[in-house]
Amino acid sequence: MKIVLAQQNYHIGNFESNTQKILSAIADAKKQGADLIVFSELSVCGYPPRDFLEFTDFIDKCKDALDEIKLHTSEIGVLVGCPTVNPTKEGKDLFNSAYLLYNGAILDVVHKTLLPTYDVFDEYRYFEPCHQWHVMQFKGKKLAVTICEDIWNLGDNPLYRICPMDELMKYQPDVMINLSASPFDYTHDDDRKAIIKANVLKYKLPMFYCNAVGSQTEIVFDGGSLVFDREANLILEGKYFEEDMLCAELTNDNSFLETISLSFDKLPSEMLDPSEFNANLNTEKMYKALVLGIRDYFSKMGFTKAIVGSSGGIDSAVTIAIACDALGAENVFALMMPSQFSSTHSVDDAVQLSNNLGHLYEVIAIKPIFDVFLQQLKPLYQELPFNVAEENIQARSRGNLLMAVANKFNYVLLNTTNKSECATGYGTLYGDMAGGISVLGDVYKTQVYALAHCINRAHEIIPQHIIDKAPSAELKPDQKDSDSLPDYTILDAILYQYIELRKGPKEIIGKGYDVNLVNRILKLVNTSEYKRNQFCPIIRVSPKAFGVGRRVPIVGKYLS
């Protein structure tokens, strides 16, 4: 049996586009003489559809798309992901399903058993878990078809009470096939392959694993579809961060015909220990995820051009470089907005960056705007000393200018706030926290520097002076980030323990960090939740990003 995996980038709710992608892949698979083609989880509608699933019209369009796909299944089986209406009153209204289509008909349907309700996942909000299991019979093979999370319930601390493959093994299947939508994060590189290998070792069956690719607002799917033989050798591996098709042929004895084994030896227990922060972990893949995140956000929303506030600092420099890669330099505009507190080299550095990248820029000084604000506020402020209020007036003046230009010329503002700043509230609402999407909001400051080195690996794009100089908001004389925040190497390590690993203050202090410093940082994180709640969507590259995957109370008292 020749099986093709179609790793595709879908657009949620764009049924016409998704269907055409699927039909095109089916046509290509037919040309290869494939018996079966496999698509990713909920491929008909795109993943995650979230509350669109509550609309009957949306579910009807899923069915219509499925009916269209059926018409193109002569002489080839098609495994495609689609929601299914639950025929019983009890339980949720839908199943998350995989359909086997063949010769214009629905040959079989299986439902997802394990419904994740953690981090960015909220599937039990919509779907009923499967409670009856069977293998699919197709062309003399018994297919154990599972959906994404169904193969992840292995290890010493299982999250669910049942393991679907244990149930399917009762029917003596020939091969495992998994339709997946498994998102990227920088700790999730080898562990996906490791969990698949662990399944193969446990069940002694070959595995075809089809993952989604593409960005859906915050969530980036990196592809990397996989084929393992029954001896747990990695046979084929799909491209990362782009569409791909893999083809492998199973013989009668369920071995592979004419394939090359790729190197991969790790098991889940051998994965990299994520207990300590590593700013350089998977920097290149993080960069590719951010590029894809911007590119898909713009293309799927119908946007074409981006604007960025260019300060001459590391965050805006990295954001602009990534945006130029994602959208093309001709579609990126930088606005430099120096104040009386800006150093000369900041503007020079920003100009040099723009010249290196070849995108358009303009300079608008904000001092005249700032002075008018102070003049109008003088009757109220009187002789009160300069403080954060005057600093924020500058940040909001910049935000207003950026949005004014964005509105006039149909740009989308890319936010440049990094995760260290976002975590500690080191930013101004409606000022430097404005934006259509956050590029670095899930990237710690030390990781921003790692990205800068990645960008400069072939030749200098980001001027070295931007990388070398001490970071500063330049909102008052001689200001440095270190005036308000600890050294970023220490800050990021503590934030990682608290945010990504959910460690409490005692555990973090037990690692040798200063008691007062830990308590201060954790308080900053929790008291800044109201700012993050009003922040723009953040491209997710970590195992715990701010936004839909992290839900804490704004008015909670814990550690605040």
Q: What is the 3-state secondary structure (H, E, C) of 125-136?
A: HCECCCCCCCCE
CATH number for the domain spanning 164: value is: 3.60.110.10
The verdict on residue 546 lying in a domain is: no
Residues 199, 261, single domain; the answer is yes
pLDDT at residue 258 in the model? 66
First vs last C-alpha separation in the chain: 60
The better pLDDT of the pair 31, 472 is held by 31
Mean pLDDT computed over 180-197 = 91
Lowest-confidence pick of 214-228, 369-383, 465-479, 498-512: 465-479
pLDDT at residue 348 in the model? 94
Whether 481 has a pLDDT exceeding 80, the answer reads no
- Could you tell me the pLDDT band of residue 157, with boundaries at 50, 70 and 90? confident
The verdict on residue 210 lying in a domain is: yes
pLDDT in tens, 75-90: 999 999 999 999 999 9
- Could you tell me the pLDDT band of residue 398, with boundaries at 50, 70 and 90? very high
The verdict on residue 550 lying in a domain is: no
What are the catalytic residues?
41, 112, 148
Residues 311, 173, single domain; the answer is no
Three-state SS across 393-435? HHHHHHHHHHHHHHHHHCEEEEECCCHHHHHHCCCCCCCCCCC
Residues 419, 499, single domain; the answer is yes
pLDDT in tens, 405-449: 999 999 999 999 999 999 999 999 999 999 999 999 999 999 999
Residues 265, 292, single domain; the answer is no
The verdict on residue 95 lying in a domain is: yes
Residues 401, 490, single domain; the answer is yes
Residues 376, 515, single domain; the answer is yes
Residues 331, 243, single domain; the answer is no
The verdict on residue 554 lying in a domain is: no
pLDDT in tens, 486-537: 899 999 999 999 999 999 999 999 999 999 999 999 999 999 999 999 999 9
| Contacts (Cβ under 8 Å, ≥6 apart) of 545 | 120, 218, 441, 442, 538
Residues 120, 174, single domain; the answer is yes
The verdict on residue 484 lying in a domain is: yes
Residues 191, 293, single domain; the answer is no
- Could you tell me the pLDDT band of residue 484, with boundaries at 50, 70 and 90? confident
d(CA 1, CA 252): 8
Tokens read off for 29? 């698979």
Residues 365, 511, single domain; the answer is yes
pLDDT in tens, 267-292: 665 555 678 899 888 999 999 999 99
Residues 249, 295, single domain; the answer is no
Mean per-residue pLDDT of the chain:
95
pLDDT at residue 269 in the model? 59
- Could you tell me the pLDDT band of residue 346, with boundaries at 50, 70 and 90? confident
Three-state SS across 258-320? CCCCECCCCCHHHCCCCCCCCCCCCHHHHHHHHHHHHHHHHHHHCCCEEEEECCCCHHHHHHH
Q: How many domains does the chain have?
A: 2
Mean pLDDT computed over 198-207 = 97
Give the domain-ending residue among 216, 241, 270: 270
Residues 192, 288, single domain; the answer is no
Give the domain-ending residue among 226, 241, 270: 270
The verdict on residue 558 lying in a domain is: no
CATH number for the domain spanning 389: value is: 3.40.50.620
Whether 263 has a pLDDT exceeding 80, the answer reads no
Whether 317 has a pLDDT exceeding 60, the answer reads yes
Per the omega criterion (within 30 degrees of 0), is the bond before 48 cis?
A: yes
Range of the domain at 171: 2-270
pLDDT at residue 342 in the model? 79
The verdict on residue 312 lying in a domain is: yes
pLDDT at residue 99 in the model? 98
Give the domain-ending residue among 248, 270, 292: 270
